[in-house]
Amino acid sequence: MSAVIENHHDDHHHGPDKGLMRWVLTTNHKDIGTLYLWFSFAMFLVGGCMALVIRAELFQPGLQLVVPEFFNQMTTMHGLIMVFGAVMPAFVGLANWLVPMMIGAPDMALPRMNNYSFWILPFAFGMLLSTLFMEGGAPNFGWTFYAPLSTEYAPPSVTFFIFAVHLMGISSIMGSINVVVTILNLRAPGMRLMDMPLFVWTWLITAYLLIAVMPVLAGVVTMMLMDIHFGTAFFNAGGGGDPVLFQHVFWFFGHPEVYIMILPAFGVVSAIIPTFARKKLFGYDSMVYATASIAFLSFIVWAHHMFTVGMPIAGELYFMYATMLIAVPTGVKVFNWVATMWQGSMTFETPMLFAIAFVILFTIGGLSGLMLAIVPADFQYHDTYFVVAHFHYVLVPGSIFSIMAAAYYWLPKWTGNMYDETLGKTHFWLSFVGVNVTFFPQHFIGLAGMPRRYPDYALQFADWNMVSSVGAFIFGFSQLLFLFIVIKCVMGGKKATDEVWDGAEGLEWTIASPAPYHTFSTPPALPERATA
């Protein structure tokens, strides 16, 4: 089997399509995973530059750099690019690289569709970014694009934005179908579902979430399109529609979406912590059930984003309790990670540093989320910087730190070379300090009443905004160091061995699951089991 896999990859790499065409036409899961990862990193830098424009404007009160209109375009584009262009493609890239290797499959099940699902993304984001140069400017209605701001009062470029969103959705659905089909059909003989590494489990569940909610997003942007161009009134009260309907449909997509951006991160961290604690993951079964519970609950809490729209008190109570319930399986995961580290022989290589920071800071984000779930309190927090602080604690030290942890952890496997550990640790500490200096003070200015999405603010918020902006520039520029580390590792360096994480005996290149432990260079050896 291993010879088959090796030959399979060699055919891809040394065929007639040398050079550029190899990347355009490739159906190899490793190539496509690499394309996704580089694309997402490029989008991460673009979205990051937009964040720095926002933070530069907010460095002091008054209008410095930009007109308010452009400020709103930056907040909108930053959100859309980071969510759909940076975080999601990065996780799809990790899935492409790792899922086939973790389950002993020769490739993804649908390799041509895999190629297509990647290549529509650069065109989608090219179109989205092109709106910045159109008459009337880019979308300026926030990444949640609430109607009627995005329908009645939108710039003409909103039509291009809608088409770009459709393309991203098509890409996500195709990628997810591919993941599901691969996991359900191409596991090594004898590998049961409960034998799979947790990263594979989190991606299987994430893929089902994507297949379920991406059509909802397609539906809501299609309703926008009809309202704008075809005289319907889905969201126009004047024609018998309801602007609040937009929020219901959007958040029915949007809430599972935020879990789509964190579940694969749980899988990554569940791979890294056992390796550097030199222990098996604590509570494998409960981790699988917790992941599935989170996914299920994510569908029935959407209106907690809408506590202030005037829903009946029974609705508020239901959504409050349902939201708080998500804290239970999430807490199970956090305690399992801590129990895995407990009395382990821990070492603190770069991937482990990112993973530990993930556990601590993601927990902070979870606790502020619990505060936001409390209806009467949410009336005060809603649309302030407290909310911004909350979701950035979940998405930056959550999703993005886990992606960086994964990059450091698997780079030796991907490239055959070790990255520079000293530079890696430097990058970690700069990122860790930068992210906390940026987002922790936003809790304070939010509780003091500073609203989101405004380019100017009252004098009382000046000090913490200045601190926050300094942190943002530290975090932003330290990502250039990350770029340097990755390129340096790809270009060469100390050769990586099979047991690359020294001392993680019996855990080299594995993920913690019950049996089978296996190296990724060969498909897993499985215990003999009676077959039906």
What amino acid positions are annotated as catalytic residues? 78, 107, 143, 171-172, 255, 257, 259, 270, 304-305, 330, 333, 452
Could you report how far apart the first and last alpha carbons of the chain are, in Å? 23
What is the rounded distance in angstroms from the CA atom of residue 502 to the CA atom of residue 505? 8
What is the rounded distance in angstroms from the CA atom of residue 463 to the CA atom of residue 442? 11
Three-state SS for 188? coil
What is the rounded distance in angstroms from the CA atom of residue 478 to the CA atom of residue 354? 14
Q: Identity (one letter) of the amino acid at 54?
A: I
Query: Could you give the residue ranges of the DSSP H alpha helices within 132-197?
Result: 158-185
Residues 6+ apart with CB under 8 A from 10: none
Copy the structure tokens of residue 120. 């529509």
Copy the structure tokens of residue 301. 């809490």
Residues 6+ apart with CB under 8 A from 499: 505, 508
What is the rounded distance in angstroms from the CA atom of residue 486 to the CA atom of residue 91? 17
Sign of the Cα torsion 474, 477, 483, 485 reads negative
What is the rounded distance in angstroms from the CA atom of residue 370 to the CA atom of residue 374? 7
Q: Which of 369, 216, 363, 368 is nearest to 304 (CA)?
A: 369
